[in-house]
Amino acid sequence: IPPARFALLGLTSMGSTFCSVRSLRYVIYPIQVLAKSCKPVPVMLMGALMGKKYSLKKYINVFFIVLGVGLFTGGGKMSSSSSSSNNSSA
């Protein structure tokens, strides 16, 4: 890699890390962890677009990770709204 391109790659990598850390200041920690759990999705999508082949097992694993994150995230909202409606009717 030519030094100019290597420097550009390093600067963009540092810039993206800085921006992601700064933006996560406004999100609570559990949501940060859940969002980071979905990181394999864009990685696999970009890999597939670039011609990389993944096994069916990897696709299934990523599907279950996303499903689990979705159920965990959605489950918290449903339980809090149903518990508040139960308390208000009593």
- Amino acid (one-letter) located at 24: L
Per-residue pLDDT tens over the stretch 55-87: 999 999 999 988 888 787 776 554 445 555 555
Report the Cα 60 to chain-centroid distance in Å. Answer: 17
Return the pLDDT at 20.
83
Stretch among 19-23, 38-42, 57-61, 68-72 having the lowest mean pLDDT? 68-72
Higher pLDDT, 40 or 80: 40
Region for 52 from its dihedrals, namely left if φ exceeds 0, alpha if ψ lies in -120 to 50, beta otherwise: beta
Q: Tell me how far apart the 2 most distant CA atoms of the chain are, in Å.
A: 71
